[in-house]
């Protein structure tokens, strides 16, 4: 089966992995990890980079090859709809484009989204022409409301940001996939390659991660592992897994033996006897 590319607005991507720019030990390691990941989209927190064109020192943006990667500015750090909208406007004014990963957090301890503020900011930014990719909770009702507002995708969390706990509620992801027709990209909480693979096996269209790669013992090797996990998980989803059963099911069918009126072991015994070998 030939897979289709991931489509976000007018953009198309061969990779279904989106990665970040924060927390890496050095910018140079970040660049190598980006290359190893095979990702086509890289997200950056607008509020945490220097957008002044007259700046003398390098910022993270200087380490992202805009010819190779589509830049996804995000509103990380916003706790109100007004803050998120202001950051989105800053990104557009700085020439970062109309793509925006919309985050409106509810509290500093869990970093879970403020759904009401998220819906408010989404409605305004979509009307202003932004291609909105909202970070949200794993609620299918909210996902449907976001799609109705015109988002390019929905990005439910697997677990709290940076927790590394992997997907906590597979059933809710299933409900979200059934509720919306836009792409579903799992965002936040992935800890290792198996987490990413599970998300893709369940039918997610993509996975966004930062901490799992940036804080790994070897970020470059982990980026490569995530690349392979997302790819293999997607292939497994397209292939279709076998149904789960309560009891065992023989891998080798017995029908041909039963049709001859003998068991496999009896047939084996006869063959051994004819060959002059010890009978098992």
Examine the residue annotation and report whether 101 is marked as an active-site residue of this protein: yes
- DSSP string covering 221-251: HHHHHHHHHHHHHHHHHHH-PPPP-SS---S
The gap from C-alpha 96 to its chain's centroid, in whole angstroms, comes to 22
- DSSP H stretches of helix in the chain: 27-37, 81-93, 115-127, 140-149, 170-179, 193-201, 211-214, 219-239, 255-258, 264-274
> How many residues would you count in the chain?
280
Q: Kindly report the number of other CB atoms within 10 A of residue 86's CB atom.
A: 15
Q: Which of 210, 176, 207 is nearest to 194 (CA)?
A: 207
Give the span between the Cα atoms of 103 and 79, in whole angstroms: 8
Q: Given 67, 101, 145, 235, which residue is catalytic?
A: 101
The residues assigned a catalytic role are 101
């Amino acid at each position: 089966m030939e897979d289709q590319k991931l489509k976000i607005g007018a953009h198309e991507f061969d990779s279904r992995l989106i990665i970040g720019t924060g927390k890496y030990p050095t910018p140079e390691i970040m660049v190598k990890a980006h290359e190893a990941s095979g990702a086509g989209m890289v997200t950056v927190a607008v509020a945490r980079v220097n957008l002044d064109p007259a700046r003398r020192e390098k910022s993270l943006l200087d380490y992202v090859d805009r010819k190779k990667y589509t830049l996804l500015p995000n509103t990380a750090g916003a706790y109100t709809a007004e803050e998120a909208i202001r950051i989105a406007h800053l990104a557009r004014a700085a020439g970062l484009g109309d793509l925006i990963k919309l985050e409106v957090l509810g509290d500093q301890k869990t970093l879970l989204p403020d759904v009401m503020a998220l819906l408010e900011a989404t409605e305004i930014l979509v009307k202003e022409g932004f291609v909105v990719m909202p970070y949200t909770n794993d609620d299918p009702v909210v996902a449907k409301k976001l799609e109705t507002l015109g988002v390019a995708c929905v990005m439910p969390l697997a677990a709290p940001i940076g927790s590394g706990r992997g997907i906590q509620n597979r059933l809710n992801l299933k409900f979200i996939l059934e509720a919306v027709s836009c792409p579903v990209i799992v965002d936040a909480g992935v800890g290792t390659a198996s987490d990413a693979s599970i998300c893709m096996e369940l039918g997610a269209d993509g996975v966004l991660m930062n901490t799992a790669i940036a804080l790994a013992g070897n970020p470059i090797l982990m980026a490569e592992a995530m690349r392979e996990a997302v790819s293999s998980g997607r292939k497994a989803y397209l292939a279709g897994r076998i149904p789960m059963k309560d009891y065992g099911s023989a891998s080798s069918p017995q029908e041909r033996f039963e049709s001859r009126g003998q068991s496999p072991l009896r047939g084996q015994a006869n063959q051994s006897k004819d060959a002059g070998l010890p009978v098992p």
